[in-house]
Amino acid sequence: MVVITAVLFGLVFFCAAVLAGGHAALAALERVPLHLFALMLGLSSLNYLCRALRWLWFSHALRVHVAPSRNAPYYVAGFAMTTTPGKLGEALRLWFLRRGHGCRYADTVPLLMADRLWDAVAMAAVLCASVAWLAAYFWITLAAGAIVGGVTLLCLKPSILMAGVTFAAAAAPGRLRLFATWRRALRKMERLASPTVFGLGLLLGLIGWFSEGISLYVLLHALHAPIGAGACVFIFAFSMIVGAISVLPGGLGSTEATMAGLLALQGVPVQTAIVATAVVRVTTLWFAVCLGMIALPVAMRLTSMRFPGRIFVGAR
């Protein structure tokens, strides 16, 4: 799946570069120095480090008592499945927790839900903070912020969703066990509603996603494209949200088209916009997939080891 997606990614950008002017695109790519790639990979690494720390922070809050030296590789290994539809493959992290530590899915599903939710909230916050540089997209940003804010409210106030689950359970009595699992997960989400847990999780997400938005600015500066840092952060965040909403594998196609289109609308030559989009996606999405592939055998080895004592979630 990953190989096929990577090949399709390369073919699409190759065709786009040729149609837009192959020589001009190649010239733009040659203007990107090697040390800039290292800087962009460093900014992406900061994003993944912040998100891994957030995963560990939420694990502690949800009483998923797994040592960080094992939990962190599980999280990074999940990036190997980022290019699955809707990133559903990232649920592999929960399988590692189950196999290696006996953690029940009912106890770890809130961890995955929180990771996705705080990513969405952080990106929406970055989007709203940078919209001043692209006022034409104010209403779109406001709508996105309202949607994410509503979802956040529902998850931080599980009693609202709990009522819906109770109603659904009454309508489908044959699925009582499933609904009981969902009620348990929603109750655990309440542990993330405290200002300390919520605030630190949001701060880590903001630092991570803002750093990747800055990488777009650094790249465009090297390509002599006249776009400010705020506009670059907005374009990056907006493109990522569009990709997430599309539920396509890794947001492929929708994210790239949105990013390249917005850059072109800001006066960036089409060839430069295509090259910039390709480089950004290689140093963010595909870099994450590579990190996941490296961590995957480590996580598999950890879960196959015999632990001196299994630690169960929810132990008092």
pLDDT tens profile 217-247: 999 988 888 788 888 998 999 898 888 887 7
SS3 315: coil
Inter-CA distances, 283 with 8, 264, 289, 294, Å:
17, 21, 10, 16
| Whether the predicted pLDDT of 80 surpasses 80 | yes
Question: Can you tell me the distance from the alpha carbon of 219 to that of 273, in angstroms, rounded to the nearest whole number?
Answer: 11
Question: Can you tell me the distance from the alpha carbon of 157 to that of 186, in angstroms, rounded to the nearest whole number?
Answer: 9
Nearest alpha carbon to residue 260 among 289, 282, 280, 246: 280
The stretch 10-17 carries a mean pLDDT of 52
Per 3-state DSSP, what percentage of the chain is helix, strand, and coil (rounded to 5)? 85, 0, 15
Lowest mean pLDDT among 54-58, 133-137, 258-262: 133-137
pLDDT tens profile 255-279: 888 998 999 888 888 888 888 898 9
Q: Note whether residue 310 is domain-resident.
A: no
For the chain, strand residue ranges (E) read none
Phi, psi for residue 15 in degrees, rounded to 5:
-65, -40
Q: How many structural domains compose the chain?
A: 1
| Whether the predicted pLDDT of 134 surpasses 90 | no
* CA end-to-end span of the chain: 41
Task: Give the Cα-Cα-Cα angle 143, 115, 88 (nearest 5 degrees).
Answer: 90
Task: Give the Cα-Cα-Cα angle 250, 253, 16 (nearest 5 degrees).
Answer: 135
For the chain, what is the mean pLDDT? 80
pLDDT confidence of 67, banded at 50, 70, 90? very high
Range from 133-147, 181-195, 298-312 that averages highest in pLDDT: 181-195
For residue 133, the model assigns a pLDDT of 67
Question: Can you tell me the distance from the alpha carbon of 253 to that of 261, in angstroms, rounded to the nearest whole number?
Answer: 12
Q: Note whether residue 316 is domain-resident.
A: no
Residue 137's Cβ-side half-sphere holds a number of Cα atoms within 13 Å equal to 20
For residue 300, the model assigns a pLDDT of 92
Other Cβ atoms closer than 10 A to 98: 16
Domain of residue 211: give its range: 2-157+193-304
% the chain with pLDDT above 70: 73
For residue 32, the model assigns a pLDDT of 74
pLDDT tens profile 160-217: 766 766 666 666 666 666 667 667 777 777 788 788 888 899 999 999 999 999 999 9
Is 263:277 a contact under the CB 8 Å cutoff? yes
Q: Note whether residue 112 is domain-resident.
A: yes
pLDDT confidence of 38, banded at 50, 70, 90? very high
pTM over 0.85: no
Question: Can you tell me the distance from the alpha carbon of 245 to that of 236, in angstroms, rounded to the nearest whole number?
Answer: 14
| 103 Ramachandran zone, left/alpha/beta (phi>0; psi -120 to 50) | beta
For residue 96, the model assigns a pLDDT of 94
pLDDT confidence of 284, banded at 50, 70, 90? very high
